Structure 1
């Protein structure tokens, strides 16, 4: 559901992915989230919020998010799907104030946020084609489905400023540093092709823990790998992006 709020100038978005909260952790991100609340207007979580997608892990994260005091938008990652409790994870975190994009855009202070988890498939002229065994066709179809859901979300937004939040990467440039053999499992250019059909100011993603911080789509849209292990211009585990 799109929430219409009047624009109030530029806003700062803190974006971080791959925080991998464990069920035995005790307030692992409380101090970091308090710091973010002092420096940013919105927090964007780019997937892999939990280690194994267990409800208890979501409860630990929810405890740290409840007092953050700024809007939080998020997408899930592959780790969050591991135990098959996606709906329960979302319910727990929504009760803590998280707004999951997942194909449903949100507007905050005049900035539109659209996002999906994304999927693999490879990049540019090395993208996997839907040819051969049914399993390969199913893999490619999942990548296409995520790109189509992102397109649907972007079409719903009428904001002049838009950020896309993903877990999987839309370009190869921000996964460089990872072994080339696993590139097809880190993202897909189909996401970038969708993004480039719209006027998007910034894209954030995670998943590639050893990738590179910044790159651009073919049309020039800035893309940032905000996995917490990536060195960022902010000098902190999160990126600060002004829109």
Structure 2
């Protein structure tokens, strides 16, 4: 018997933007994904405004997904000020919403957070000056700390990080340069690069970004916003092996 672990097929999609008027918008897609993958990762902006009815419409479609689902929320899911309620509805539909906790599926660990803005590399905003700036940077640091803590809790040989905001500038290329600082933060990549068992990162948010990139340590990063993936593969979800 081979000691080599079997490969896990991961489907990843972000930026579903389900509205309260949608009816079975993703039901057939989730059935298709279930036939082609072992796990589905939802990379944030699952609803358009974070409304209860939007989360319920998505939950109704998730019923057709017969494989495990992990998810993170995005900024749109916070718009109505009830992200915990959105998470609860999705968890009732069988999705594991990642934030403070991680999960292991088929010997692969999954850790995730929404992430936050702040910029990349030398352009990263520092906690200096006005208290409002320090509060802003503290939010980015807190999201990175949550990701690091979740990754540290995993003892799996293979781990996937699921985000909404981008951890590297590579995958936001194609967006206007002026908004790069609002598309993600390299603090997220710093957290990823502390762990040798992280094999890949998936995220969304940058609708006009680039599909692939890497962290400083060389961990592959994939922008799985459905608009980016559709242009790359002709289908709205990425299929990756872990």
Flag whether TM exceeds 0.5 (same fold): yes
Q: SS at 1:28's partner residue?
A: coil
CA deviation profile, 1:96-152 (whole Å, cap 9, x unmatched): 000011131000000000000000000001100101111111110100000000000
- Counterparts of 1:8 and 1:107, CA distance in 2: 14
Q: Distance in 1 between matches of 2:76 and 2:227?
A: 16
Over the residues paired in the alignment, what is the CA RMSD in angstroms?
Answer: 1.1
> How many angstroms does 1:10 deviate by?
1.1
Q: Is the 8 A contact 1:231 1:237 kept in 2?
A: yes
Q: Indicate the residue corresponding to 1:227 in structure 2.
A: 225
Counting only pairs closer than 5 Å after superposition, residues 48-67 of structure 1 correspond to structure 2 as 48-67=45-64
Paired residue for 1:187?
184
Please list the CA deviations of residues 174-197 of structure 1 after superposition, one character each: whole Å capped at 9, or x if unmatched.
000001111111000000011001
Q: Is the 8 A contact 2:42 2:72 kept in 1?
A: yes
Partner of 2:203: 205
Structure 2: state its 5+ residue gaps.
none
Give the count of matched residue pairs: 237
SS at match of 1:121: coil
Give the whole-Å Cα distance in 1 for the aligned partners of 2:82 and 2:135: 22
Question: Once the 2 structures are TM-superposed, how far is the Cα of residue 8 of structure 1 from its aligned partner?
Answer: 6.0
Distance (Å, rounded) in 2 between the aligned partners of 1:97 and 1:151: 25
With normalisation by structure 2, the TM-score equals 0.96
Give the whole-Å Cα distance in 2 for the aligned partners of 1:191 and 1:134. Answer: 22
Instruction: Give distance in 2, aligned partners of 1:103 and 1:94.
Output: 14
User: Structure 1 stretches of 5 or more lacking a match?
Assistant: 1-6
**Which of 123, 126, 150 is the equivalent residue of 1:126?**
123
Q: TM-score, normalised by structure 1?
A: 0.95
The structural deviation recorded for 1:236 is 1.2
CA contact (8 A) 2:229 2:238 kept: no
Pair 1:39 & 2:36 matched: yes
Which of 95, 100, 115 pairs up with 2:112?
115
